[in-house]
Amino acid sequence: MTDPSLTASRADEQADILRRLEDDIIFGRFAPGARLVEDTLMARYGASRHYIRQALVQLERTGVVRREKNVGATVCSYSAEEVHQIYAVREMLTRQAALAIPLPAPPDFIARLKELQADYCRHADAGNLRGIHEANDQFHLALFSGCGNPYLVRTLQDYMGLTLPMRAKNLADGEGLKLSRRQHDIMIDLLQGNDHWALAQLSVDHMQYSKADYLERTAGGGVPIKLAD
């Protein structure tokens, strides 16, 4: 009979490998299009081949990794045309959600966003990239929830996941993070007023820095970024 504590330990180890590999990809330590060689990953994470393969399978399902026969696993990359097309849809959805939020927004809604923004800033000050990424997504999903349409929010969440390899590195960039924090604060201010169009436009503009950054990185042929220790 399998020891439950041993099973839990293995599950924790697998989750840790998955999280570390995902972090290396979404925060730009592995460039778009870079090959993910199993032996290299085993040495980097001190993990078995089985755990590495399981992590690659999971990340393929989320759209972060692409696996092809006779090629192996690579960091998912998008052409400039695909990026523009994906962001065009995300921008339309974002604008529609922002325009549907009743203004001025309720005090409890504002209070919740301020709480999430404070959490975001704490992680940013600590340099906790995983915390920054998760707090950022929580802020935006909470903001979108104000539109009152759960189907629109769910679709937006899908596109947030689709653009994860394009946008997350922006949160590891000092200037990008500073801009993101400032724009979040302005969004909260706008929610307390009556200018729907200003809120919608800022919500769309908020995505442009990471979009431009990804296009610039991939235009250079996806040169791998030096891995941090």
Could you name the CATH architecture of 80-219?
Up-down Bundle (1.20)
pLDDT of 218 strictly over 90: no
98-126 pLDDT per residue, tens: 999 999 999 999 999 999 999 999 999 99
AA identity, residue 84: H
Structure tokens at 62: 């989320």
Class of domain 4-75 as given by CATH: mainly alpha
pLDDT of 30 strictly over 50: yes
Domain positions in the chain are 4-75, 80-219
pLDDT band at 7 (very low <50, low <70, confident <90, very high): low
pLDDT of 229 strictly over 50: no
Question: What share of the chain in percent tops pLDDT 70?
Answer: 92
User: Are domains 4-75 and 80-219 of this chain identical in fold?
Assistant: no
Higher per-residue confidence, 10 vs 103: 103
Judged by average pLDDT, the poorest of 6-20, 114-128, 198-212 is 6-20
Structure confidence at residue 227 (pLDDT): 37
Q: State how far the Cα of 107 lies from the Cα of 84, in Å rounded to an integer.
A: 36
Q: State how far the Cα of 161 lies from the Cα of 166, in Å rounded to an integer.
A: 10
Q: State how far the Cα of 100 lies from the Cα of 96, in Å rounded to an integer.
A: 6
pTM for the structure as a whole: 0.81
Structure confidence at residue 31 (pLDDT): 84
